[in-house]
């Protein structure tokens, strides 16, 4: 099995306390239950708005911390999932299923970035 991290990116950040559409939450819940039963879903969740976060970066030889919100961001990571799949093609099909749930409720401006994960020795999930 290959372990992947998928990051949900959108151009519109949700306001604090704003929940996704109930129909989307219901269909997502069903998909997550299915993926859990198959042993494919390791972890998933949404992220708080950037106003509640910060960025830490190296600036020359010092560390700089910047509080959110990050208004210059063109896209926002709104959630993530860590999943397993036997092949890249299988993961691509899972990504299509996830995006279709959003299309079904009228959300048409969303991107899912999916990348295989690598782990230090002894550090792999499960």
CA distances from 40 to 7, 49, 54, 59, 81 (A): 16, 27, 31, 39, 10
107-116 pLDDT, tens digit per residue, is 888 999 999 9
What domains are there in the chain, each with its CATH number? 2-14+22-116 (3.30.70.1060)
Structure tokens at 84: 């397993």
What is residue 12's predicted lDDT score, i.e. its pLDDT? 79
- CB-CB contact of 110 with 102 (8 Å): yes
Point out the residues of the chain with pLDDT beneath 70: 14-17, 123-126
Q: Comparing C-alpha atoms, which of 55, 62, 68 is closest to residue 16?
A: 68
What is residue 72's predicted lDDT score, i.e. its pLDDT? 77
What is residue 74's predicted lDDT score, i.e. its pLDDT? 81
């Amino acid at each position: 099995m290959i372990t992947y991290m998928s990051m949900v990116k959108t151009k519109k950040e949700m306001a604090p306390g704003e929940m996704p559409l109930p129909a989307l939450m219901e269909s997502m819940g069903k998909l997550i239950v299915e993926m859990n039963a198959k042993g494919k879903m390791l972890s998933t969740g949404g992220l708080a708005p950037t106003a509640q976060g910060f960025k830490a970066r190296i600036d020359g030889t010092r560390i700089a911390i910047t509080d959110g919100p990050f208004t210059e961001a063109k896209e926002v990571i709104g959630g993530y999932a860590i999943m397993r799949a036997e092949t890249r093609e299988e993961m691509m099909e899972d990504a299509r299923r996830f995006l279709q749930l959003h299309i079904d409720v009228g959300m048409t401006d969303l991107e899912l970035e999916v990348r295989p994960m690598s782990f230090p020795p002894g550090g792999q999930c499960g």
